[in-house]
Structure formats: structure tokens, C-alpha cells
Structure 1
Amino acid sequence: MEAWQYEGRVFPTSGLSAVAGKQTEDISPHALNYADMRPGCYEPKARVADMDQAGVVASLNFPSFPRFAGQTFMEGDDSKLGEICIRAWNDWMLDEWCATAPGRFIPGTLIPFWDVEASVKEVERCAAKGSKAIIFSENPAKLSYKGARMRSIHDRYWDPLWSVLQETQIPLCMHYGSSSNMQRTSDDAPYLVSLASNSFILPISTTLDWIFSGNLGRFPGLKIAMSESQIGWVAPTLERAEYVLRIHEEWNKKLQYSGTLADVKRVLTERDEELYIDERPPTQIFKEQIFTCFFSDFAGVKAMKDLDAVDNMLIEMDYPHTDSTWPNSLKLALEQVKDLTDEEKWKVLVGNAMRIHNFEPAYPNAAPTSV
């Protein structure tokens, strides 16, 4: 079996991570060797050829072996080695993978997010080299570093990172599952339950975390983008956020509450300082600073249009994972946006990504001349 090794741990490639070109009956979680994969899964020129076949102009790639936010390098015993590996992965991404086909890959880089000062330095280094996205965990508080839980985004500990991202105008990108917290309804529930539910549950929690954290109000230039998050949940989530805030804002500013309503051990304490709550309503916060990606969400496209949030959704294809729309990515995308105006189609399919990432794509000869 071919596998990666890191500090004595072995990481085979799951069959669910490289399904491009396979029939559904051939998909399984069993480990794969490179000979079992389509070359586009690991070779940049072959990836570009597959993108051309699917009508994809450009894409941002997330890591697999390092995991969606680089957690593999955080969980080792040697934190300095982890930082070195983060830098090596970023240099490979910028200088080799993306450089193979300029304008076809949106450069996204990792940070050693277990160390905020080192993260700031890596953002600055990668920004100078042309990074267009910084990859982060959807919820670091679910992760542990050296046996201790990491701090949540509600902790001002992260402010230097938010500040440098605002300064460099690089969006913070989070892939669902990057908290290593795929929720299960029960131990014996089919994995299908998690696959279907987590692409909604986790982005909803992340969005509400950011909206009520106050971070986006304190850093108005910070942009948050969620990959593989779908979009059908956005409208009801924002409606609920508006309702909850209207009823509970005042006491939440002054009091910290933990436990449940029926818990005799619940704790109610006065805050050391009044909670900062963004003056903007949740829907406005979302429209100005939060962006979501989808691959197949017909109901969501209509809901986002009704919400007047077309500027906040980006199409994706999830190549080469099991949710991938390849090789029919363009066809499916056009079917989903058929009821939008030509200007709105352009935004969803190309323009929003160009704006958020400050990225100019290089169009292949096979690219369509209109949408």
C-alpha cells in the first residue's frame, strides 16, 4: 500500500478522495495507490486538462494528506517540524503546482494556526509570493494542540491574524470538516447520515459563530469564504439569527450563560466587559463579508436570489472527491443558474471568485465565450 508518513503515522489515500473518472459502483473508502487514481488527482498538467474538459476556467485546491486546514502538521509532537512542513507545502503550492499553469489555479496557502504569531508571519510571506487565500479551520475550538483545546474565534487571541488578513486583503477560506468534527447522530448510524447532514450543519454553525463573534464588525475588511458548504441553508439561518438577536441581544451583552434551561448546574455570570455585538443586522454582515460555495443546490440558488445575495455565492466542482460534478461541471452549473440574469450568471460562475480572491484567470481556448 502506498501512503504518506508523518512522525511515524501512516496516511493512506482514501478511495473517497480520488473518485474522478470512476463509476458509482467502483467507489469505496478502501485505500488507493496512485496507479488507481486519475492523473488529474495529483499531476497539475493533467488537472488542467480535466478542468478544460469540464469547462472550468480556474479553481482553488485544498490539501488532502495535510487535511483541510493542515491539522496533520499540528497533531505531531514536533511543532517546529509542523511549521517547516506548512512552509514547504505552501512553497510547493505556489512555486510548483500553481506555477505550472498560471491563471488556472487560485493559490491557497496554509498557516501554522496553532501559533498565531507564526501564522501572521506566514500570511505575510505567502502574500508577498502571490497567495490569494488563507486556509483555516471552520472551528479551531474543536481541535486540540499538545493536549489542550485550541481557542475559539471568540477569543481576541486571534486578532493579529484577522488584522493581517484585512491588511493583505486575502480571504479566510474554510472547508467543511476542517474542525475534524464530523457529527454523527449515533455510533451505528450509516455514514450516509453524516455525509448528507454535515455539509449543512457545520457551515451553519460557522456562519453564526462569525456573525455573533463581533470579529467582522471590528475587522470590516475581513472576508470569510466557506468551501463545499452549499447555500440552501443561508436564508433560514439568517432569518433565525435576526429573530434570536432581537430577543436576546440585551442580556447577552452583559451576561455569560452556559448549560441548558433545565440544567441545575447551569452557570450565569456577569461578563468582565460588555460583549461586542456588531451593530449591523446578521443579513447585512453576511452580504458584506461572508461567502459560500456550492456544487449542486438548485433550491439554494433560488433562495439566494430571493435574498438578494447573488454576490455571495460561488460555484465549485469538488474535483476529485465524491461530490465532484466532473466532467459535467459547466453543464450542471448552467442548469442551476438558468433563471438568473446574464450579469448574475457571470458573478456566480466567475466574477465573485475574481473579486473575492483578487484573481485574474487565464482562459483556456476551450472556455465558453458566453454563459
Structure 2
Amino acid sequence: MRARDPEPNVSEYTLSYSTQKEPTRMADQETPETALCERYAVADVDSHIIEPADLWTSRIPTAKWGDLVPHVRFHERRQEDVWYIGDRKLYGVGAFAQAGWAEFPPSHPKRLSEALPAAIDPKERLAYNDQVGVYYQVMYPNIVGFHSHRFLNQMPRELATLCVKAYNDWVTEFCSADPKRLIPMMMLPFWDIDESVAEMKRAHAMGHKGVLFAARYDKVGLPRLIDDYWEPLLGLAQEMGLSMNFHVGFLATDEDLKGAVDQSKKMDFTRESSLVLLGNAQNIAEVVLSGVCHRYPDLKFVSVENGAGWLPFFSETMDWQWLNVGAHKDYPDRLLPSEYMKRQIYGMFWFERQSVRSVIDQLGDNLMFETDFPHATSLSPGPASESPSPRDVMELALGGLPEETIGKVLQHTATALYNLEPPVRG
């Protein structure tokens, strides 16, 4: 079953919001007639690339490492191509490529040739982005992101480091189709601080604009971020103006994944996947309350694919607890947690409506837009998706707000944070 190109989709989900009364505009503000995505070079700050089957086998000598190099085999019982490390199955090659797919999850393309071309081809991605109103797009991985624990547990550190470097090379090549618009985010071999520092310099020189990172490395036996162990890396990131990006699911451990729910059990999957979107609260609390933000005042941290509505609540929660336990007395040189949030913590949204407004009130300069393309939860209209087009979501979520605010959320906050080149409009 082949994915179809997205078509205009007026779903019940879309209608539930399109019938809401539009917020009143400022009295002295003219109402522009053009769509938001035409007025701004929209930055989609979280999307994914589906890795090709030969990403690692074409770049790493299999004569030395054998089938420990991540590779794809055909799985007879499942009748699909599947990623492996050694004999350990990871997931199907199209498991994260459900945009435009004709059936609801867990159904997905069985081969890369069945996926929406924009998921795997950079020129097709650029054309798709033009169609849905996106100019810039920040790229995150799948296998080295959601299965980072496998690289830790299933292969020697030397090989894992080679895999990280090979990924960074490949994503650079993918984004070279238009390096102004397609933005690579580097993975680091965080198990080796010296290698991480060297790879940060190398990837930055290749055009990577930020770091896929975590805040709770103590879960895998490494020191906490406040430890001097991380100073060479965090200090260099601050010096180079590179943000540290906490993506949902990154650094999940085998313990975290125990009892993972079957997607076919729709109620269970809805519950668990919704709770996952609150997972970055631990990361934000770690950098705000441990003193990392205080120690690195110019270093920016980004909560990726976790939504934004919870951020104002969490900011107020940390302030409340900080004051009520007397932490401000023990640490008189520290700011309130909410002040670190406003200074250094960034969030993003893709499906939220009403909660976006409260985020803007408190963290407006730190809010950005994402699509999560091509995942099943993304803003990708299709036969088995209730999603409106990104074009529509921008209007529904932000329409009626001051133009300065809209510009920040859709473009200017992201271009400043990731140091993106100005748009080239035809």
C-alpha cells in the first residue's frame, strides 16, 4: 500500500477549532489578508528524516564489526524490512514514516519505497514544505535518537562513536540540498567527553546548528550535568552559541521501555503517548534547579516534541516550591526558576490551541512552531490522519495575535536561536 500525497483535509478535528470565535485583534492593528505562512519564513523546529537502509553499512567497515553495524534485513513473519543491531530487532524501516499513510497506527510502510517521498528525499522534502507553508526545517534522527540505549548497550563504544559520526556526515549531506532551509542537529558520542567535544567542533564546521542532548545522563551511569565532567562540552556549546535540545524519547533506557504498550490498543496507547509528552519536565527541572542554567547563563535549552502548554504551569510550580522550602535563602545569588525559564528555556507546539495563548503570555519570546513530520502524530493530512495542514494550524493557533508575537513564534525566535541565514524568497 503506497502513501498518497496529502490532500486538503477538513476533519472533525479541524472543524472543532475552525468554528471557534477568532480572538479580537488589537484595535489599532490592520488585518493582513495574506496567510501567516506567506508573511513569514516559517521555521518548523522539529521534524525527522527516515534513515536509509545503507546509512551505516556504506560508511563503516563491516569486515571489522560484522552485523553489529546497524543494518536492515527482511523479516519473513512481519513481511517488512527491519532495522537490526546484531540479532536485536529495533523497528521497521517505515515505522516512523506514517505521514500520508492510508491506515492508522500501528500500520506503517513495510519498505522505504512505500513511504511518502518527502520523508526520505531532500528535494521532495523541500517541495512538500513549500506546499504546507514551511520554509526552514530542523532535522532530528529516528534510530540514533529513539534507540540511543541500543548504541550504548549493544555495541562497543568505538563502534558507537563511528555510528554517530557517520550519522552526522549523512544528515549534513541530506541537508546540502538547501543548507539554508534544511537544518541538521548533531548527535554526540556522549559516553566519551573528549570525543564529544571533538565531534561538536567537527559537526558545527559542517553546518550543524544545535545538539541533540539529554539532562539525565546519570540514568546511564554518567555524572549529572552540573558535574565538572561536562564543563568542556557545555562551556564550548555556550561559547559557540549552540543550543542543547532535549528531544522526547532520547536516552530512553531498557528500564524506561519496560511494559511499552501495544499501539493497537488505542486507549492504552493514547494514555501512554500523552504522558510521554510530559517527559521533558525532568530535563527542564534538572538544568533549572541543579544550577546548570546559573553556571552557563548564555546556554540555551530546548524542549523538543513535548508541547508547550505545561511550561507555564511548571514554571510557576518550581517558583512556588523554591520559595516555600526556603531555597531562596540558601541560594541568595540564584534567580527564581521562572527567570531562568524566560532567559534560557525554549518550547514548541504543533497541535495545541488554547494553551498556546497562556504560553505566549509567560514565555512568548521562547515559543516556536513544529510539525513533527513524518511521524504518526505529526501535522500531516492524509487518509488516516485527523490533522489539518500546518498552514491551517498556524492560523487557528495564532490568528488574531499581534503581528510581532506571530513573527517571533513562527520565524524570528528560531532564526535567532539556531543562527539561521535570512530567507531567500523567489
Note if 1:65 corresponds to 2:126: no
Q: How does 1:194-209 map to 2 (within 5 A)?
A: 194-200=272-278, 202-209=279-286
**For 2:189 and 2:106, how far apart are their aligned partners in 1?**
32
Between the aligned residues of both structures, percent identity stands at 27
Match of 2:96 in 1: 17
Which 10-residue stretch deviates more, 1-10 or 169-178? 1-10
Q: CA deviation at 1:290?
A: 0.7
Of 353, 358, 363 in structure 1, the residue corresponding to residue 414 of structure 2 is: 353
Instruction: Give the distance between the partners of 2:149 and 2:332, measured in 1 at CA.
Output: 30
User: How far apart, in 2, do the equivalents of 1:283 and 1:239 lie?
Assistant: 7
Query: Is 1:40 matched up with 2:94?
Result: no
Instruction: Note if contact 1:57-1:364 (Cα within 8 Å) is conserved in structure 2.
Output: no
CA contact (8 A) 1:183 1:194 kept: no
TM score, norm. by length of structure 2: 0.72
Deviation track 1:175-198 (CA, whole Å, cap 9, x = no partner) reads 111131668999798122111121
Secondary structure at the counterpart of residue 61 of structure 1: strand
> What do residues 226-264 of structure 1 show as CA deviations (whole Å, max 9, x unaligned)?
1111111111111110111112244995xxxxxxxxxxx
Q: What residue number does 2:355 align with? A: 300
The aligned residue for residue 117 of structure 1 is: 194
Contact 1:111 1:122 in 2 (8 A): yes
- SS class of match (2:312): helix
SS at 1:180's partner residue? Answer: coil
- Contact 2:328/2:334 (8 A) holds in 1: no
Task: Measure, in 1, the Cα distance between the counterparts of 2:236 and 2:380.
Answer: 35
Q: CA deviation at 1:102?
A: 2.2
CA distance in 2, matches of 1:196, 1:55: 27
Equivalent position SS for 1:109: coil
Question: Do structure 1's residue 326 and structure 2's residue 380 form an aligned pair?
Answer: yes
One-letter amino acid matched to 1:163? G
In structure 2, the CA distance between the partners of 1:79 and 1:337, relative to structure 1 (3 Å rule), is same
Higher relative contact order (CA 8 A, sep 6+): 2
2:343 to 288, 292, 296: 288
Instruction: Give the secondary structure class of the aligned counterpart of 2:174.
Output: helix
Shift of 1:16: 4.7
Q: Tell me if 1:310 matches 2:389.
A: no
Specify the alignment match of 1:156 in structure 2: 228
Residues 320-363 of structure 1: per-residue CA shift (max 9 Å, x gap): 00121135112202210113210110110011110000112544
The answer on whether the counterparts of 1:63 and 1:70 sit within 8 Å (CA) in structure 2 is no
Partner of 2:127: 49
The TM-score with structure 1 as length reference comes to: 0.83
One-letter code of the match for 1:49?
A: A
Q: 1:299–1:2: structure 2 CA closer, same or farther, 3 Å change rule? A: same
Cα deviation, residue 287, structure 1: 0.8
Secondary structure of 1:102's aligned partner: coil
Asked whether the equivalents of residues 12 and 31 of structure 1 are also in contact (C-alpha less than 8 Å), the reply is: no
State how far apart, in whole Å, the 2-side matches of 1:35 and 1:213 are: 47
Give the alignment partner of residue 241 of structure 2, picking from 153, 169, 185: 169
Given the superposition, is the C-alpha separation of residues 331 and 250 from structure 1 closer, same or farther in structure 2, using an over 3 Å criterion? closer
Residues of 2 paired with 1:69 and 1:162: CA distance? Answer: 23
Q: Distance in 2 between matches of 1:132 and 1:74?
A: 24
How many residues align? The count is 334
Unaligned runs of 5+ in 2: 1-79, 382-388
How far apart are the structure 1 equivalents of 2:114 and 2:404? 41
Is the aligned partner of 1:236 residue 2:297? no
> Take 2:190 and 2:421, find their aligned partners in 1: how far apart are those partners?
28
8 Å CA contact 1:184, 1:193 repeated in 2 = no
Q: Deviations over 1:148-178 (max 9, x none)?
A: x333324332122110100111101111111
Quote the Cα distance in structure 2 between the aligned partners of 1:6 and 1:331: 41
Q: Are 2:398 and 1:337 equivalent residues in the alignment?
A: yes
RMSD over aligned Cα atoms: 2.5
The residue that corresponds to 2:75 in the other structure is none
Match of 2:7 in 1: none
Change (3 A) 1:285 1:93: same
